Structure 1
């Protein structure tokens, strides 16, 4: 496993988030410190039905080494076929099974966190991936239960099915994204399995990441929403930089890099798609943020938008 992922020191992983952690965003966090990036969750059904949108979501930046593709699925036969399709795509190092998504549409299809209701089935699907995949590693991302907490039982099922490592979001499905994260449950998982454990849930700063690593004993942390509007968190983690010590020049550089990657991947429409990111980036610490957001909502030209981004995020505009 060391050739692909080095668990001898804490691993910093970008979590998959629908509509946000696309190739441009992943390439930025990879360039500035993430050890591992994961695709947005991709439906096994969509892959099997040759969805061009899903195949585009599989694409990766040349920087993304190693790279994990996360799939969702509820039927072994469909998952097996989806893995066979991924087997034909170069550059994928890990296939990850989503066993944690709480979204009703996903759960109603029997995938995502719905798999936590039938651990035997979840184990069979993980084993199917492991036995079918020609990629070096297989992993699973789980929650600590559906309604009731069953962290150790879930983790042991993942391990017994042959997964090489596990990422754990420390909430139940019922807890969605609001309930308190149970880091103690993640610690118990780490104590009960031999495979590496990645801790996930409400990790939004360098300080919090260090605390979670120490408290849980986890082999790494996975950051999702904590990286949106703050992709430099991976730079902080790698360089030991606390929140109040990030250089505004570095922030500007990362935001411009993100914008350039959006245009490279989506063409001119990338400027429109980038508006949501600019709303988040401009939330705190800059003069004239409200006026800036109003202006970018009316701009479609990549050249004009880039010029405005460069000016607004200049260190001289910091409050």
Structure 2
């Protein structure tokens, strides 16, 4: 179970990033709870293997939450029944925050914030069918208007054990200023734990916790290329150059173990972030973008981060 009395730090579900290799790395540096990438309930029901792979967990992931997205209660039910067969999952989280047009067009993700009755029905469905310990919701402040207290109350009344609030509306995308006051308002409206999310890093984490009164924090984009941020938030020292190199290599090796030779190409986006702000980073990125051989790729990493 998640101990909210200790103000846990969550790794956010990040499409294309928060896979098993990254989740394993952040656990090493103090992430208390990890969440899978968003999984479409429809895909889980009709495509199977590929979506099931997204729900797999690493050995050290405890607690571990799987996030699903969908708008049809029957398919949500079928998806939950599939997840019920998997061991090691501590909770199922409903995505009510994804702003991507193709998700919204399916009345899923943040589109559910326009229909709180349907949102409630889906949460109730998950709660009634799931054999996992926890049912949760990750939401935004609203679709166009900010109604975080109404959404939070709807989730609580439907049976959610906790909620995570990203401090922007769907209309705000990822560029609008995060409204922590609105998150605080939602926190005050419910009795269940509330986790704050949105532009949180080691510089403002304590301030956000104090201001919102929330029971935990979820770290998203700030963790890409900087998975040790969880340790820094908890008061740890910045990583040394030697440890940074060790982390990058361990992450790369985990990618190869997970994806085979495809791990080289997939890892480039992580390297672009790991090298951000370092001397000769631009030349390094240009060089690794042209390399497909894993052994040569690893050597270039060793040399650059030495």
CA distance in 2, matches of 1:163, 1:250: 39
Alignment of 1:133 onto 2:130: yes
Alignment of 1:311 onto 2:303: yes
Alignment of 1:224 onto 2:220: yes
3-state SS of 2:203 partner: helix
CA distance in 2, matches of 1:32, 1:136: 25
Q: Which residue of 1 aligns with 2:42?
A: 45
**2:56 is matched with which residue: 43, 56, 59?**
59
Alignment length (residue pairs): 306
**1:186 is matched with which residue: 183, 187, 208?**
183
Q: CA deviation at 1:298?
A: 1.6
TM-score, length-normalised on structure 1? 0.93
Alignment of 1:300 onto 2:292: yes
Q: Which residue of 2 aligns with 1:215?
A: 211
TM-score, length-normalised on structure 2? 0.97
Alignment of 1:26 onto 2:23: yes
CA distance in 2, matches of 1:26, 1:265: 12
Whether contact under 8 Å (1:21, 1:40) holds in the other structure is: yes
3-state SS of 2:6 partner: coil
Q: CA deviation at 1:46?
A: 0.5
3-state SS of 1:176 partner: coil
Q: Which residue of 2 aligns with 1:107?
A: 104
Q: CA deviation at 1:290?
A: 2.0
Q: Which residue of 2 aligns with 1:175?
A: 172
Q: Which residue of 2 aligns with 1:281?
A: 274
CA distance in 2, matches of 1:246, 1:259: 18
Q: CA deviation at 1:271?
A: 1.1
Q: What are the ranges of 5 or more consecutive residues in structure 1 without an aligned counterpart?
A: 315-319
Q: Could you tell which deviates more after superposition, 81-90 or 304-313?
A: 304-313
Q: Could you tell which deviates more after superposition, 83-92 or 230-239?
A: 230-239
Q: Could you tell which deviates more after superposition, 246-255 or 29-38?
A: 246-255
Question: Compared with structure 1, are the counterparts of its residues 171 and 92 closer, same or farther at alpha carbon in structure 2 (3 Å cutoff)?
Answer: same
Alignment of 1:239 onto 2:232: no
- Over the residues paired in the alignment, what is the CA RMSD in angstroms? 1.1
Q: CA deviation at 1:239?
A: 3.4
Alignment of 1:253 onto 2:249: no
